[in-house]
Amino acid sequence: MKRLLIGLACAALAVPAGAAAGGWASAGLGPPPDDMGPGETWNAKITILQHGNPQTPLPGLAPTVTIRKGSVTKTFAAKESDTLGVYVAKVVFPSEGRWSYEVYDGFATYGGQQTHHFAPVTIGAGSDGTGFPTVTVTVVLAALMGMALVLWLLSRRIRVRAPAPTH
């Protein structure tokens, strides 16, 4: 009877350890949403790897990308791409400002699904196709005009005198 109890105890300890051995995934996300404006679509590529191992991409999952700013939260489903373990979510930031975002990996095997958090991004005022930095140009022009005015005032104040005769 003691042997049976010891065998059952060892089996009970071995099962959770085996289940935990493969029950997690890593989620990479790229390219970052740099230089985006509100209403533009970010094609967020999510790469999900079992154990974080590049040789073990995970197909057949249903990951999502969630964006947050204040009380506004939006979630976008990702679809499998042609590359194994890579999913694409079409994310649209509704307004400018600082947004946080995260990826739910959907890897439910062994109860290992996780939400992966990434550094917040700042979404700009949008691009009108020109990408012209109006505010920066205005500030630079104002500074140049101020410097020109100072130089003009200084030039009117300084008079160059002819050298005195040397006889």
> Under CATH, what is the fold of the domain 23-123?
Immunoglobulin-like (2.60.40)
Q: Please provide the average confidence, as pLDDT, over all residues in the chain.
A: 79
Distances, alpha carbon 66 to alpha carbons 42, 91, 165, in Å: 13, 9, 84
Q: What is the mean pLDDT of residues 129-135?
A: 61
pLDDT for residue 129 is more than 50:
no
More confident residue, 90 or 146: 90
Q: How far apart are CA 95 and CA 119, in angstroms?
A: 18
pLDDT for residue 11 is more than 90:
no
SS3 content of the chain, % helix, strand, coil (to 5): 30, 35, 40
Q: How far apart are CA 26 and CA 162, in angstroms?
A: 80
Q: What is the pLDDT of residue 10?
A: 46
Torsion angle defined by CA atoms of residues 71, 72, 77 and 82, in that order, rounded to the nearest 10 degrees: -120
Q: What is the mean pLDDT of residues 76-99?
A: 94
Q: What is the mean pLDDT of residues 92-116?
A: 87
**Which of 123, 104, 122, 124 lies closest to 114 in space, CA to CA?**
104
Rounded to two decimals, the pTM is 0.61
89 in Cβ contact with 65 (< 8 Å): yes
pLDDT for residue 18 is more than 70:
no
- What ranges do the domains of the chain cover? 23-123
